[in-house]
């Protein structure tokens, strides 16, 4: 794409969102679609919803309640809760009050909460329940700016304190002043350059950084995405990943407002299938681990089905068709007819059982994914696309598209986005989606965002002859072996993780003669795999040492090694005896690997793998 075309697209996007904020669009939805459902959730066995009009009124009331608690323009409101209606109501209410919402990952420990809350000087914290309250109580004395805590649940069971309110009490405090002149004045001061939220990075290499995201960033990105994907009118979404992550926030919360869609809020990842079946989403976003789990569960269902042979025959033919299309080969009439028949007999039923029979756009992002998974889902009629982006560019920046999907790459830049590679392969991005910088971190901001508007992503990429981007790995994570060879560990890690038993892989080899890996098992999949293979399962620690498990992991490593060069191959591995979680520290709340933690925690086991020369 020529620079002239990119600049034209940028001017068109600028014009489309000129002078507009998130609240303007929220007002528009309440005015134009007031009686139409906006958000859905489940209480017990009953599904509930709010229309755009009801949603708007509740936001106005809670916003006035926040003002009554002393929230001034520029103040920060902390939110720590799962994906539920009160979460997004609080988010928009904070913005309407002139403040800035900051969502905290639910998995954060007290010390991590203290760091972020102190950094942004949060004045009010809105928490889901008493479990979260315990963590905030531990650090209250270190948060001099914190004035009030609002509990969505459990306030009735909490000792009477003048600084703790229930959600209903917060709303009641704003009931009379929701439409006051003061609130209208607050709204009028919010501009496209006002901060819509702070997204704190997950801290893979150090302390989290607060990414400043403006209303303009949000709307510019949403308009660029709309032009790239041409989504259906008022689409349905399911929100189930943490709203502290820009991917979920952009994919459902902001897109739901921008497109006047409907969002089903799922509070627990384990319930996502129930919500998908209820919502029948038209747009669905998932990180690679979600798609990996869907894949393994589907294969297990296929194996148990009495029509197993027909299913696998259909799957084989469908995969051949997708691979032929990817290779640029024309699919003949007979193969197209056979594919249509198999789709009607087999895959339409699979999609319906999953609740994905109406999905028009399926996205994977936030981490590398095995291309074979994308082939699989496209083969069964779920149009999965890989996308690339980060918090510093408000989420998406580069993506494959429904009519232009080159599997194995992350596609081409979105409309209006410029992409450039430095000499060392670092990816640079420019456009209205690039944020102003990091909160209170001028030096880090200057290092990442240059004077010409380019975002230095820290990721290494390569462009093929047609301009499709392939992600090689993180610049800071490139391994340089003892022989001086540069290796991007994510390539082989992604291939090994394709096994359903494996949740995380950390490849080691910096300054070493060969690569090794520490491998963590999936605690949810392990008992099911054990039952399916006749292997006893008591706990993860004893299970990890069983010869059948070691053999299965060895098979996954061998298969991955066959797909990479010799220098990228893993020669030895160690299976961790416990699960890696955000609480235990090996992964971030968004499930990104903390290599430094793994290297420190398993230092003895790693050294043991290098104690003898590999075969």
pLDDT of 207 above 90: no
Residue 515 domain boundaries: 478-609
One domain for residues 422 and 518:
no
Is 369 part of any domain? yes
CB atoms closer than 10 angstroms to residue 565? 11
Q: Quick one: which H or E segment has residue 527? A: helix 525-532
How large is the average pLDDT for residues 155-169?
Answer: 88
* CB 214, CB 195: distance < 8 Å: yes
Phi and psi (nearest 5°) for 452?
-95, 5
CB atoms closer than 10 angstroms to residue 561? 18
Q: Which of 453, 461, 330, 465 is nearest to 386 (CA)?
A: 461
One domain for residues 407 and 421:
yes
Is 508 part of any domain? yes
Domain stop point among 475, 505, 534: 475
One domain for residues 598 and 488:
yes
One domain for residues 464 and 486:
no
CB atoms closer than 10 angstroms to residue 501? 23
One-character DSSP codes across 476-496: GG-EE-TT--EE-HHHHHHHH
What is the per-residue pLDDT for 19? Answer: 97
pLDDT of 614 above 50: no
- Does the model's pTM come out above 0.75? yes
One domain for residues 542 and 591:
yes
Is 387 part of any domain? yes
CA distance 494 to 502: 10
One domain for residues 405 and 527:
no
One-character DSSP codes across 248-288: HIIIIIIHHHHTT-EEEE-S-GGGHHHHHHHH--SEEEE-H
CATH code where residue 497 lies: 3.30.300.30
How large is the average pLDDT for residues 381-394?
Answer: 97
One domain for residues 470 and 401:
yes
Three-state secondary structure call for residue 87 = helix
Is 465 part of any domain? yes
Tell me the per-residue pLDDT of 488-535, one tens digit each, with 9 for 90 and over.
999 999 999 999 999 999 999 999 999 999 999 999 999 999 999 999
Sheet holding 502-508, edge to edge: 502-508, 515-521, 570-575
Q: Which of 308, 303, 313 is nearest to 338 (CA)?
A: 313
Is 497 part of any domain? yes
Is 444 part of any domain? no
Is 453 part of any domain? no
One domain for residues 387 and 494:
no
What is the per-residue pLDDT for 495? Answer: 95
Tell me the per-residue pLDDT of 16-60, one tens digit each, with 9 for 90 and over.
999 999 999 999 999 999 999 999 999 999 999 999 999 999 999
One domain for residues 426 and 317:
yes
CA distance 196 to 103: 12
State how many domains the chain has. 2
Phi and psi (nearest 5°) for 44?
65, -125
One domain for residues 429 and 312:
yes
What is the per-residue pLDDT for 269? Answer: 87
pLDDT of 615 above 50: no
pLDDT of 206 above 80: no
One domain for residues 492 and 396:
no
Is 404 part of any domain? yes
């Amino acid at each position: 794409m020529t620079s002239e075309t990119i600049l034209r697209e940028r001017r068109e996007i600028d014009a489309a969102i000129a002078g507009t904020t998130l609240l303007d669009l929220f007002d528009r939805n309440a005015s134009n679609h007031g009686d139409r459902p906006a958000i859905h959730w489940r209480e017990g066995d009953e599904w509930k919803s709010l229309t755009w009009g009801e949603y708007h009124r509740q936001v106005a009331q809670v916003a006035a309640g926040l003002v009554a608690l002393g929230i001034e323009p520029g103040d920060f409101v902390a939110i720590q809760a799962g994906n539920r209606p009160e979460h997004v109501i609080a988010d928009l209410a904070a913005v309407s009050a002139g403040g800035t919402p900051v969502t905290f990952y639910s998995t954060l420990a007290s010390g991590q909460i203290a760091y972020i809350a102190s950094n942004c000087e949060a004045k009010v914290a809105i928490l889901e329940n008493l479990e979260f309250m315990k963590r905030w109580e531990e650090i209250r004395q270190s948060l001099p700016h914190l004035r009030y805590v609002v509990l969505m649940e459990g306030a009735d069971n909490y000792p009477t304190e003048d600084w703790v309110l229930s959600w209903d009490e917060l709303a009641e405090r704003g009931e009379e002043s929701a439409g006051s002149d003061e609130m209208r004045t607050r709204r009028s001061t919010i501009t496209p350059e006002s901060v819509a939220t702070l997204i704190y990075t997950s801290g893979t290499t150090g302390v989290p950084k607060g990414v400043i995201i403006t209303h303009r960033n949000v709307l510019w990105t949403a308009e660029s995405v709309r032009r790239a994907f041409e989504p259906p009118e008022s689409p349905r979404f399911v929100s189930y990943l943490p709203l502290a992550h820009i991917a979920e926030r952009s994919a459902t919360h902001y897109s739901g407002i921008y497109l006047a869609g409907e969002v089903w809020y799922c509070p627990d990842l384990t319930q996502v299938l129930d919500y998908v079946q209820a919502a029948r989403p038209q747009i669905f976003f998932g990180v690679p681990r979600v798609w990996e789990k869907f894949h393994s569960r589907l294969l297990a269902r296929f194996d148990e089905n009495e029509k197993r042979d027909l299913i696998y025959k259909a799957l084989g033919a469908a995969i051949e068709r997708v691979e032929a299309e990817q290779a640029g080969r024309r699919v003949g009439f007979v193969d197209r007819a056979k594919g249509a028949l198999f789709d009607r007999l087999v895959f339409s039923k699979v999609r319906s059982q999953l609740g994905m029979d109406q999905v028009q756009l399926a996205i994977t992002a936030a981490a590398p994914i095995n291309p074979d998974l994308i082939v699989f889902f496209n083969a069964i009629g779920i149009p999965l696309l890989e996308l690339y982006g980060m918090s510093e560019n408000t989420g998406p920046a580069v993506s494959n598209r429904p009519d232009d999907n080159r599997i194995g790459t992350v596609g081409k830049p979105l409309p209006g986005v410029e992409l450039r590679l430095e000499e060392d392969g670092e990816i640079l991005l420019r456009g209205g989606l690039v944020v102003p910088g990091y909160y209170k971190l001028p030096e880090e901001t200057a290092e990442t965002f240059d004077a010409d508007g380019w975002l230095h992503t820290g990721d290494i990429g390569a462009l093929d002859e047609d301009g499709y981007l392939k992600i090689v790995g993180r610049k800071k994570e490139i391994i340089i072996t003892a022989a001086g060879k540069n290796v991007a560990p994510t390539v082989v890690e992604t291939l090994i993780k394709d096994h359903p038993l494996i949740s995380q892989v950390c490849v080691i080899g910096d300054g070493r003669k060969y690569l090794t890996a520490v491998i963590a098992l999936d605690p949810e999949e392990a008992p099911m795999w054990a039952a399916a293979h006749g292997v006893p399962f008591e706990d993860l620690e004893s299970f990890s040492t069983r010869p059948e498990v070691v053999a299965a992991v060895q098979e996954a490593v061998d298969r991955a090694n066959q797909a990479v060069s010799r220098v990228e191959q893993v020669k030895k591995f160690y299976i961790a005896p416990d699960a890696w979680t955000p609480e235990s520290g090996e992964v971030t709340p968004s499930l990104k690997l903390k290599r430094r933690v793994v290297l420190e925690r398993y230092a003895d086991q790693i050294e043991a793998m290098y104690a003898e020369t590999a075969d």
